[in-house]
Chain A
Amino acid sequence: MRAGAPTAGFTTMELLVAGTTGLLVTGAALALVHAGNRSVATLATLQSEWHHARAAASLWAAEWRGAGYDPTGASGAGLVRFAPETLEFSSDWNGDGALLPTSSNPNERLAWAAVPGAWKRGVNGGPRLVMARPESIRFVFRDGELREVTGGSPGPVVLVEIEVRLPGRRPGAGHTVVWSAARRMSP
């Protein structure tokens, strides 16, 4: 072994500085990746909410279009109750002249509820959530001349709109979409 200080390799100080720098760079990179993952997850969640809204609107529109189906004329099917937060209607789908929510005709009496935070469809067994997290949501009712109907007899109501507002990435950055459906059966 030669005498004196070694002339090759790294000093302890060099290793410490290199290690600290490496940790800092790695930490910054991980922080960036974490922020990116969080943003992508937020975007995916927001988009997923719109998919749910779209699916719920399709189901609701299909059911509302058939509201009042009454082939015997004896069931009294039609629009039962309407308000910005609720829509209840019936259809005699099996044509037996009665509106009985039995296992054979489970969709003859339907109620839809639309309140901030939940859009629900009620059927046998209680309400089911079809969409969560709407920032605001409401039904708008119109007659055959497209005039808004806000109360009174449900007879004139033909077209119903559902206004859904979902939150955006930032407060106040939400978006509103309106779906419409007109019932095919004459009131």
Chain B
Amino acid sequence: MRREAGTTLVEVVVSLLLLGFGALALAASLLEAERTRGWALGATAAQAGAETWTERWRLGDPASGSGSVAAGPGPWSPSIEWSSRSVGPCLVEARVRATAGRSAIGSALLVTRLFRGEGCAE
């Protein structure tokens, strides 16, 4: 027997499910985009922190040896790990790794050297 009029419950449910899936997919992609942007911001802050550390080290900041420090707030916890050592007569080297988040993926390594040391002419 033919339907009288309107749509069936199944049709309505299927339509709403399709719409719901679409909305969820869209929300998920937006969330991912926001996370990626947050990570990019964290990476930017970490790299700026590494550059700042390097510039200060070049000025003779007493930090030497190795260590790590946070490079800014945020969920991606940008941080830098640094180490400095002598690599030859009158030559010291600093390595600074900038990382955002727990993953080392996308971390950047800055390496710089200075002519410095006891008895070394400037």
Q: Is B30 an interface residue (CB 8 A)?
A: yes
Q: How far is the CA of A39 from the CA of B28 in the complex (A)?
A: 12
> Which size class do B's interface residues fall under?
20 to 34
Q: How far is the CA of A180 from the CA of B96 in the complex (A)?
A: 15
Assess whether B22 is in contact with A21, with CB atoms less than 8 Å apart: no
Residues of chain B with a CB closer than 8 A to A81's CB? none
Q: Is A146 an interface residue (CB 8 A)?
A: yes
Assess whether A43 is in contact with B33, with CB atoms less than 8 Å apart: yes
Given A13-B5, A47-B37, A50-B41, residue A179 in contact with residue B30 (CB < 8 A):
no
Q: Which residue from B5, B45, B56, B61 sits with its C-beta under 8 Å from A175?
A: B45
Number of interface residues of A (CB under 8 A): 38
Which of B47-55, B85-93, B101-109 contacts the other chain? B47-55
Give chain B's interface secondary structure class. Answer: helix
Q: Which residues, 124 to 163 on A, are CB-close (under 8 Å) to B?
A: 144, 146, 158-159, 161
Query: Interface of B with A (CB < 8 Å)?
Result: 2-3, 5-7, 12, 15, 18-19, 22-23, 26, 29-30, 33-34, 37, 40-41, 44-45, 48-49, 51-52, 55-56, 58-61, 72, 74
Q: For the A-B complex with A21-B7, A33-B26, A182-B58 known, give 13 more contacts whose Cβ atoms are closer than 8 Å.
A: A7-B2, A18-B7, A25-B15, A25-B18, A36-B26, A36-B29, A40-B30, A43-B37, A54-B44, A61-B51, A179-B52, A180-B51, A182-B59
Query: Interface of A with B (CB < 8 Å)?
Result: 7-8, 11, 13-14, 17-18, 21, 25, 28-29, 32-33, 35-36, 39-40, 43, 46-47, 50, 54, 57, 61, 144, 146, 158-159, 161, 169, 175-182
| A and B contact pairs by CB, cutoff 8 A, 11 listed | A17-B7, A21-B12, A25-B18, A29-B22, A36-B26, A47-B40, A161-B52, A175-B72, A180-B56, A182-B55, A182-B58
